[in-house]
Amino acid sequence: MQLIGNLTESLVPMMIFAIPIVAIIGGITAGIVKTMSQGRIVEMAQRERIAAIQAGIDPSKLPPLPMTSDFSDTTQSLSDPVAAARNRSQGLLIGGFVTLLGGIGVGLFLGILNDGDRVWAVGIIPAFVGVALLISGFLVRPRGN
């Protein structure tokens, strides 16, 4: 029985590190699978288009190639600099709000845990990063459009 207790005491701290490792590996794997499947869809559509053209079908009557959300955002940004600036500004604003509120949350959390100590000041760092992102989001925002 003591062997099980010793095994549990030594195994539980190691399992704590398994959670973020599995999450990171899962996120990377999901991104790779998504990218590969999108590329495969576009590749199959191109093959169908080539086969139809070889069969004598007029290319103007064929439907356009499927564009996934990632590809269409990229092509829109390349053709429209105002849209690219708007997307960049929105990304900075969203990141700024998340980081600012995260910093405030960390400061409040540490302030509640440690009464009297100034540990809450750790939240100032991400809060100021969030403020900097908000300011940069306002600076790169397109004007007059």
Q: Which of 101, 143, 95 is nearest to 123 (CA)?
A: 101
How is the chain split into domains, by residue range? 1-65, 80-145
> Distance (Å, rounded) from C-alpha 100 to C-alpha 106?
10
Confidence of residue 135 (pLDDT cuts 50, 70, 90): very high
Residue 122 exposed, middle or buried by CB count within 10 Å (0-12, 13-18, 19+): middle
pTM of the model: 0.49
Half-sphere exposure of 12 (CA within 13 A, CB side): 6
Question: 113-134 pLDDT, tens per residue?
Answer: 887 678 888 889 999 999 999 9
What would the two tokens of residue 99 be?
A: 């980081």
Question: 20-50 pLDDT, tens per residue?
Answer: 888 889 999 999 999 999 889 888 888 988 9
